[in-house]
Chain A
């Protein structure tokens, strides 16, 4: 393995640097020159030193729809929290946990990450692995009623919108 594969940019991601700078200023809640300097250095250093680890850049087709997606995810988190709360208070012996293989149709790395995170964020399901060929996502379900229905739900609610937004 070569130490630095082909491209080493001095300033690989200007937008990301700006984002980090703003993030830093919000975190420290101040715009004093010292903090701006620290933020600018961090904003340059972090993208620069991590550039080799970045997956290919996703193409964001429609930021507005991404916002809509996050809103829906929030609603789903609320709803499934109530469901899981009830499950947890039940006798654990009556639960039927299960592993489900979810057949992926996404190919973009970032999109798969978003899908796996969405699955883990909604209580009751945790993504537990990605097959080496990236064809399947292994999902652990706390209480499995109907495997096909679960797969259908994930596809309809998360994967299809993500594909439209990111691929």
Chain B
């Protein structure tokens, strides 16, 4: 294993390292966002970063390493990326909808209001946030 990576030219090693590091950095930023944001809807935005750019950069690094090393190009990284890009937005959407259904409050000062349609559901109106304007 080590022998393979030694055989790579320096600039490729550097590129792979850069990709892995920036992937890790983006994942870290996503987690910081998850910890810092005040309400559930804002917290949803952190993980989308980590699961798109963060994982994307890491997988690209992995693909170059294995592709240029002797294992040959494998499609698995591409498949992981595709699955992630197809499923991450769905899960974010479901979490947001679940939060709306459970009438989880959003932070004060949030613009706009979630769903008129939901207001017709019993008990939804009382939870609508203290928004300042709009419709």
Beyond A26-B79, A92-B38, A92-B42, whether A97 also contacts B52 by CB under 8 A is no
Q: Which residue of A lies closest to B91 (CB)?
A: A120
Q: Is B106 an interface residue (CB 8 A)?
A: yes
Q: Is A138 an interface residue (CB 8 A)?
A: yes
Beyond A95-B42, A128-B97, whether A120 also contacts B88 by CB under 8 A is yes
Beyond A26-B79, A97-B42, A144-B111, whether A127 also contacts B96 by CB under 8 A is yes
Q: Is B64 an interface residue (CB 8 A)?
A: no
The interface size of chain B toward A, counting residues with CB under 8 Å, comes to 44
CB distance from A134 to the nearest CB of B (A): 11
Interface centre among A85, A123, A147 (most CB of B within 10 A): A123
Q: When the two chains form their complex, are residues B46 and A129 in contact, meaning their CB atoms are under 8 A apart?
A: no
Beyond A85-B49, A117-B86, A117-B90, whether A99 also contacts B79 by CB under 8 A is no
Beyond A27-B76, A92-B37, A121-B52, whether A140 also contacts B115 by CB under 8 A is no
Q: Which residues of B contact A (CB under 8 A)?
A: 26, 29-30, 32-33, 36-39, 41-42, 44-46, 48-49, 52-53, 56, 74-76, 79, 85-86, 88-90, 92-93, 96-97, 100, 106-107, 109-115, 117, 135
Q: Which residues of A contact B (CB under 8 A)?
A: 23, 26-27, 29, 77-78, 81, 84-85, 88-89, 92, 95-101, 116-121, 123-124, 126-129, 131-132, 138, 140, 142, 144, 147
